[in-house]
């Protein structure tokens, strides 16, 4: 089918049908308003395709997630986060020479300008790390005025810089919050090791990251690296469509991610567990509340808006969570509650029949807590992982033949014309 006929009143028009490589179909309505005067209304954009993209494919009904054609199951545990970032940005994995150049550039640009460190003093000690991260990423543009340029080499250079520096800003946000001195990046460590070094190093002792934790964090970052046209990615594209610089566009994505319905979901899991614990730890009571249609309570970290079956990322990260808990031998009441809830959800017919399985937010929250990462840093960790996806979509948007500033329309339902008396 190349087109469909739409008849509105007495006018009939043909609208082109767009077919994707995975047999997805969409109706191109770009001429609809011009030809008929009508627009479409789709609150939440659940049925609206805002772009054609080559980056990530999702089939929520079948539980499929692929980056540039590669199934997430094949990427997890077999490649590094930086290799995944290169793949998302460029469409292919780096060869040996490209990998070395990319890794070297990330190490070279890991430091932030010394003057930027003073900015941290302007934030209250209890400032949410996402507020700090968003502000500091925007501020990077002041230290890199060349970011306004449309030169391809400068665009690629700024992508490297933001990838390298965001992990440093994230780590410094954590240390500022905890009253700890900043730790400089170590040129001899890889991306994930360096982040853990800047987070947890004691300035008096040499730091050695536990390989189990390095592998788990590498895995978490890969699993969060992209997820198609979600709220924050769409925000990056929307802001970037005005040709704002990359730092401003990414900062807007960070702000969108901060919301509890998006990146804040893993933090909400831990808050829910705290609530259950403070109420005596009777998790079965809350399971029954979640089943009760009259109750407003719902279990956080179960089910997914996109995946109608099982979140493919959750299958992978569950194994890592089990490995981390076994390695660290942690006796944490909240983590014990989480394991009890997990077992109920995996066996209870109510949850199984509705596809309410533990999702990636559930397991990532468990791992971050076990690693000693505070709850208010969870969304920052999400942002660190999602960064390559945001950058890939921003770059793809700039090179799209259909590039234009995004400007949604509306159906006005307010007062009709009235005169001032």
Residues carrying an active site annotation? 304, 361
Q: Classify residue 94 by its DSSP letter.
A: -
Alpha helices in 292-359 (DSSP H): 312-328, 333-347, 349-353
Number of residues that make up the chain? 421
Residues paired with 13 in a beta bridge: 6
How far, in Å, are 107, 200, 236, 397 from residue 392 at the CA level? 20, 30, 10, 9
Residues paired with 4 in a beta bridge: 15
For residue 127, give both structure tokens: 């400032």
For residue 240, give both structure tokens: 């970037």
**255 contacts 136 by C-beta, under 8 angstroms:** no
Residues paired with 304 in a beta bridge: none
Angle, helix 378-398 to helix 246-257, in steps of 10 degrees = 140
CA atoms within 13 A on the CB side of 404: 7
- Determine if residue 67 is left, alpha or beta; phi over 0 gives left, psi from -120 to 50 gives alpha, anything else beta: beta
Tell which residue, 387, 386, 390, 380, has the closest CA to residue 176. Answer: 380
The full DSSP string for 179-216 is T-------TTS-HHHHHHHHHH--TTS-----HHHHHH
CA–CA gap between residue 58 and residue 307 (Å, rounded)? 9
Tell which residue, 306, 229, 237, 259, has the closest CA to residue 48. Answer: 229
**130 contacts 258 by C-beta, under 8 angstroms:** yes
How far, in Å, are 65, 215, 344, 392 from residue 219 at the CA level? 15, 6, 26, 19
Q: Classify residue 305 by its DSSP letter.
A: S
């Amino acid at each position: 089918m190349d087109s469909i006929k739409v008849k509105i009143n007495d006018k009939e028009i043909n609208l082109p049908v767009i077919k994707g490589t995975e047999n997805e179909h969409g109706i191109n309505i770009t001429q609809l308003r011009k030809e008929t005067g009508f627009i479409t209304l789709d609150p939440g954009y659940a049925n609206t395709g805002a772009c054609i993209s080559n980056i990530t494919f999702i089939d929520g009904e079948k539980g499929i997630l692929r980056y540039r054609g590669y199934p997430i199951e094949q990427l997890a545990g077999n490649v590094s986060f930086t290799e995944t970032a290169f793949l998302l940005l460029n469409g292919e994995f780096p060869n040996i020479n490209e990998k070395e150049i990319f890794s070297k550039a990330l190490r070279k640009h890991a430091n932030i300008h010394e003057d930027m460190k003073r900015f941290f003093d302007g934030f209250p000690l209890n400032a949410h790390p996402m507020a700090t991260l968003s502000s500091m990423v925007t501020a990077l543009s002041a230290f890199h005025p060349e970011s306004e340029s449309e030169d391809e080499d400068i665009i690629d250079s700024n992508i490297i810089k933001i990838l390298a520096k965001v992990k440093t800003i994230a780590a410094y946000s954590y240390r500022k919050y905890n009253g700890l001195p900043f730790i400089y990046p170590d040129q001899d460590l890889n991306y994930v090791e360096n982040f853990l070094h800047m987070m947890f190093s004691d300035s008096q002792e040499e730091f050695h990251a536990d390989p189990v934790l390095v592998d788990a964090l590498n895995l978490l970052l890969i699993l969060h690296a992209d997820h198609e046209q979600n709220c924050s990615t769409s925000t990056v594209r929307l802001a970037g469509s005005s040709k704002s610089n990359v730092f401003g566009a990414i900062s807007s994505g960070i702000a969108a991610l901060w919301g509890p319905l998006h990146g804040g979901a893993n933090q909400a899991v831990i808050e829910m567990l705290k609530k259950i614990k403070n109420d005596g730890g009777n998790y079965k009571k809350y399971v029954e509340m979640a089943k009760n249609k009259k109750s407003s309570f719902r279990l956080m970290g179960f089910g997914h808006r996109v995946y109608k079956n099982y979140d493919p990322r959750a299958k992978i990260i569950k194994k890592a969570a089990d490995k981390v808990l076994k390695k660290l031998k942690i006796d944490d009441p909240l983590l014990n509650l989480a394991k009890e809830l997990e077992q109920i959800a995996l066996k209870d017919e109510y949850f199984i029949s509705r596809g309410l399985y533990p999702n990636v937010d559930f397991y990532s929250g468990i791992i971050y807590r076990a690693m000693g990462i505070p709850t208010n840093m969870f969304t920052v960790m999400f942002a660190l992982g999602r960064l390559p996806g945001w950058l890939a979509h921003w770059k793809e948007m700039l090179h799209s033949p259909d590039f234009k500033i995004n400007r949604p329309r509306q159906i006005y339902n307010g007062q009709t014309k009235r005169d001032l008396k």
